[in-house]
């Protein structure tokens, strides 16, 4: 067997030069006539080390990074293919503290395998969950997922098993599984990493969901901003179909399930499930009123499971290792593991999968190493553009759905964006309103008009036009948006605004705002 050299194809790695590194590695392999194979793997999720090159040695994998094309010749000169020392040597990959401290269940194989190799996936216990599911009754699968305590990882945290049970119980000649891969929250990239680095786990999860609920057709709706993820997913679907994982009689069973990859068109609101369904049907991505629930009347009016990428990608291990195994991780009502994304102004940015329960401070200061700029951390926004800004005073908050809600925050899709002390929270509050105005689907007045008025109100505070009155008005406006909007866009935009007002009142003073207007 020839030696393997790994250079990630993850778009985060590519954005830092991985394609050029891969070309340089291939050139050196040819020039030096070495019996080695270049494998494009997913990312391990340590972006300060990307592009991170790995080699497989008899004593395990060794990592080097961050590698630039001009380092490649010297790596070969230093005999890095034997795991030898070099200025960029990081030692055995699994021993890197950031990785070693994690509990990787959903991301078990991400960064390890060739994303498009079924053999690689199988070699690392891939499809073990589906193998079991095809021998089970749908109701038993649903029970196992329910018992695992898995909750929707898209942000709402609704129990996955209960949603599946509703679809299972619905009578219809056609049901659907829709994977919500419209990961538009700033600070999040876990869905993208799974799609690029381990697409089969998502396909496996969707197929299991199909078997469990009686759905034979699936759609993965992702973003046009993720061209690499689209390419890998589409290829993976073809490979899975050719390998008998998708299509008629999957894995030789009585069950049929097939799927398609669809691309959104730059509308943030389409990450909301009913808006996504409209978009998938070829309509404007306008939010639908609930009820009817998508589980009963979803895509094309048929019973539909709409689940986030991470929820579906967590299903295979639950089927393989059992509900208890998964449920034993976590705290309170937040069971299992959560892939936390450390982003923004952070020294060690990347993906950190761990059981629920670490505190925000542990995540930002200990694991993330504080800011990239070296300045003090002043605020973190958790849960995307609709999440609250937390000050250091709240760094003892454990990462858990309920604990964050208690402090008027949300974990959302588990992205944490770190800001140093140069952040201006009045500007961030204005941006939250501006973003809502740009992305509002227009259905509800509080969101459509309120967001525009919100921007104007913040501008008036900055201009010194009755600032105290405007702040009161802003609170009132946030109340109206929170309680008068159909979906989370209008309903949750108040979170960043109110948290900025509550925790950083000193920033809301008349002065010139440095705004890059849209």
Partner 1 sequence: MSLSVTTEEMSVRVGAIVDACAELEGPLLPILHDVQKEFGFVPQPALQIIAGRLNLSRAEVHGVASFYHDFREKHPGRHVLKICRAEACQSMGADRVADHARRTLNVDWHETTNDDAITLEPVYCLGLCACAPAALMDDKLVGRVDEDRLDTLIAEARS
Binding site for partner 1 (CB under 8 A): 11-12, 14-16, 47-48, 50, 183-189, 192, 224-229, 260, 262-268, 279-286, 299-300, 341-346, 349-351, 372, 381, 385, 415, 417-420, 423, 428, 431, 435, 438-439, 441, 514, 516, 518
How many helices (DSSP H) and strands (DSSP E) are in the chain? 22, 16
**Are the beta carbons of 50 and 18 closer than 8 angstroms?**
yes
Please name the residue ranges forming H helices in 170-321.
Answer: 190-197, 199-213, 227-242, 273-280, 309-321
Residue 237, C-beta contacts closer than 8 angstroms, at least 6 positions apart:
199, 203, 246, 259, 260, 261
Q: Which is nearer to partner 1, 126 or 184 (CB)?
A: 184
CB closer to partner 1, 39 vs 277: 277
CB of 200 to partner 1, least distance (A): 20
Q: In this structure, what DSSP letter does residue 293 have?
A: P
Shortest reach from residue 174's CB to partner 1, in Å? 10
DSSP, res 288: P
Helix axis angle, 190-197 to 199-213, nearest 10°: 100
User: Least distance (Å) from partner 1 to the CB of residue 138?
Assistant: 23
Alpha helices in 292-353 (DSSP H): 309-321, 323-327
Complex with partner 1: residue 93 or 188, whichever CB lies closer: 188
Comparing CB distances to partner 1, the nearer of 327 and 375 is 375
Which CB sits closer to partner 1, 1 or 265? 265
Minimum CB distance to partner 1, residue 113 (Å) = 21
Distance CA 397, CA 358 (A): 8
State the nearest-atom distance from the C-beta of 191 to partner 1, in Å. Answer: 8
Say if residues 129 and 209 touch (Cβ distance below 8 Å): no
Please provide residue 336's backbone torsions phi and psi, each rounded to the nearest 5 degrees: 85, -155
Residue located via tokens 């954005």:
15
CA distance 337 to 314: 9
Q: How far is the CB of 185 from partner 1 (least distance, A)?
A: 7
Report residue 254 as tokens. 């009585």
Nearer to partner 1, 330 or 409 (CB): 409
Closest CB 465 distance from partner 1, rounded Å: 24
Taking the mean position of all CA atoms in its chain, how far away is CA 452? 29
Cβ proximity to partner 1, 506 vs 514, nearer residue: 514
| Nearest distance in Å: CB 2, partner 1 | 30
Nearer to partner 1, 137 or 284 (CB): 284
Angle, in degrees to the nearest 10, between helices 199-213 and 138-147: 120
């Amino acid at each position: 067997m020839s030696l393997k050299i790994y250079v990630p194809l993850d778009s985060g790695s590519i954005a830092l030069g991985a394609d050029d590194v891969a070309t340089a590695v291939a050139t050196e392999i040819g020039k030096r006539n070495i019996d080695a194979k270049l494998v494009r793997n997913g990312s391990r999720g340590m972006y300060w080390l990307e592009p991170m090159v790995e080699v497989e040695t008899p004593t395990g994998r060794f990592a080097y990074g961050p590698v630039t094309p001009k380092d490649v010749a010297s790596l070969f000169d230093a005999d890095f293919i034997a795991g030898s020392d070099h200025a960029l040597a990081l030692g055995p990959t699994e021993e890197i503290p950031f990785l070693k401290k994690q509990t990787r269940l959903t991301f078990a194989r991400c960064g390890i395998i060739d994303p498009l190799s079924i053999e690689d996936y199988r070699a690392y216990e891939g499809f073990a969950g589906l193998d079991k599911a095809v021998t089970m009754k749908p109701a038993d699968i649903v029970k196992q997922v329910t018992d695992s305590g898995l909750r929707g990882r898209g942000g709402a945290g609704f129990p996955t098993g209960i949603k599946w049970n509703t679809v299972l119980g619905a009578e219809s000649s056609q049901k659907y599984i829709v994977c919500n891969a419209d990961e538009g929250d700033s600070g999040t990239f876990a869905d993208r990493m799974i799609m690029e680095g381990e697409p089969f786990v998502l396909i496996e999860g969707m197929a299991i969901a199909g078997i469990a609920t009686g759905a034979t057709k699936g759609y993965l709706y992702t973003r046009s901003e993720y061209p690499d993820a689209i390419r890998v997913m589409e290829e993976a679907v073809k490979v899975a179909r050719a390998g008998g994982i998708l299509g008629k009689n999957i894995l030789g069973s009585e069950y049929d399930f097939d799927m398609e990859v669809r691309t959104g068109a730059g509308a943030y609101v389409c990450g909301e499930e009913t808006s996504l369904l409209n978009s998938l049907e070829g309509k404007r991505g306008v939010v639908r009123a609930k009820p009817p629930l998508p589980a009963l009347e979803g895509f094309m009016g048929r019973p539909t499971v709409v689940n986030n990428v991470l929820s579906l990608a967590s299903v295979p291990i639950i089927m393989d290792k059992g509900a208890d195994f998964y449920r034993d991780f976590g705290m309170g009502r937040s069971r299992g593991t959560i892939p936390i994304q450390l982003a923004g102004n952070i020294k060690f940015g990347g993906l950190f999968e761990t059981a629920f329960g670490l505190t925000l401070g542990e995540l930002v200061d200990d694991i993330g190493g504080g800011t990239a700029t070296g300045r003090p951390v002043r605020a973190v926004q958790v849960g995307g553009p609709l999440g609250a800004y937390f000050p250091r005073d709240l760094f003892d908050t454990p990462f858990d759905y309920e604990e964050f809600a208690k402090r008027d925050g949300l974990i959302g899709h588990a992205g944490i964006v770190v800001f140093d002390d140069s952040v201006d929270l009045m500007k961030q509050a204005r941006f939250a309103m501006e973003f809502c105005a740009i992305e509002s689907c227009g259905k509800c007045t509080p969101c459509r008009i309120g967001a525009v008025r919100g921007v104007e109100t913040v501008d008036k505070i900055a201009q010194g036009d009755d600032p105290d009155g405007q702040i009161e008005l802003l609170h009132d406006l946030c109340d109206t948006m929170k309680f008068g909007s159909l979906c989370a866009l209008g309903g949750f935009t108040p979170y960043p605004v109110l948290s900025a007002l509550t925790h950083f009142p000193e920033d809301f003073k008349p002065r010139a705002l440095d705004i890059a207007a849209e």
